[in-house]
Amino acid sequence: MSERTAPGAGSVALVTGATSGIGQEIARQLLEAGLTVHVAGRDPDRLRATMEALASFGDAAHPVLLEVTDQASIDAAAAAIGTLDVLVNNAGINPGRRSALDAPIDEFRRAYETNVFAVVAVTAAFMPVLRRSAHPRIVNVSSGTASLAWSTGDNPQFDWQAVRGGGTAYRSSKTALNAVTLHTAQALDVEGAPFKVNALAPGLRLTRLVAGMQRGGDPAEAAVGAVRLALLADDGPTGGFFSWDGTPVPW
């Protein structure tokens, strides 16, 4: 029998913000791939409803109450989870679509608290247990709107005119998340640790996050991209930014 070179059936994953949209689909697809999944959500009612939706997976799906901006909540979740191969930092908020000219500073603080600082805190808390994995993987769910290259028009498919100058609290928080992703991957690589740490651009999806938008694809399609990065083989990329379809996104 050949030796395993990637996480797969029997591996253990944690997905934050798994009670809705893309995160719930990521949890479902990891369960379909045979992983045990810690399904994390901050709201007990939504978590209960999500567990009902995933009931067909039986004991492979574990509910975890996790408010990612609360260090005590993070510490409690980390203390309860003794094995982990895959961490998907999916929880995120979009606090508004205003530009830097009219967005209140609180909009920036809220975006950065959830989309950047919480990812740093959750990753740090689970790093000891991830370090014990033979194939540790971290996927940070970012956004194509965070790409500075795309934001300056370097992508015919990206409607950069529609977002030009706007949504800056959200988009710049995801640009910061991209930098954190790259630097984390590099720091682990310098150590020679076998991590793969990558950021995902899931594409525009019809979820609560983009409520009010007229168009957007199926969140399940975005989840395919997250699962691809979660189950990367040992010779796969690290420190990259990838679209849901696997193509690299320019920073």
Ligand X SMILES: NC(=O)c1ccc[n+]([C@@H]2O[C@H](COP(=O)([O-])OP(=O)(O)OC[C@H]3O[C@@H](n4cnc5c(N)ncnc54)[C@H](OP(=O)(O)O)[C@@H]3O)[C@@H](O)[C@H]2O)c1
User: Which residue ranges make up the site for ligand X (CB under 6 A)?
Assistant: 16-17, 19-23, 41-43, 46, 66-69, 90-93, 114, 141, 143, 202, 204-205, 207-210, 216, 219
Residue number with CB closer to ligand X (70 or 154): 70
Rounded to a whole number of angstroms, the minimum distance from the CB of residue 202 to ligand X is 5
Rounded to a whole number of angstroms, the minimum distance from the CB of residue 177 to ligand X is 9
Q: In DSSP terms, which residues pair with 197 in a beta bridge?
A: 138
Residue number with CB closer to ligand X (23 or 136): 23
Residue number with CB closer to ligand X (20 or 29): 20
Rounded to a whole number of angstroms, the minimum distance from the CB of residue 2 to ligand X is 35
Residue number with CB closer to ligand X (178 or 238): 178
Task: Write the CA distances from 190 to 137, 194, 239, integer angstroms.
Answer: 16, 10, 12
Q: In DSSP terms, which residues pair with 65 in a beta bridge?
A: 41
Rounded to a whole number of angstroms, the minimum distance from the CB of residue 176 to ligand X is 13
Out of 57, 112, 170, 244, the active site residue is 170
Could you tell me whether strands 12-15 and 137-141 are parallel, antiparallel, or unpaired per DSSP bridges? unpaired
Structure token digits, residue 37: 């999944």
The verdict on whether 170 is a catalytic residue reads yes
**Is the distance from CB of 226 to CB of 88 less than 8 angstroms?**
yes
- Catalytic residue numbers, as ranges: 170
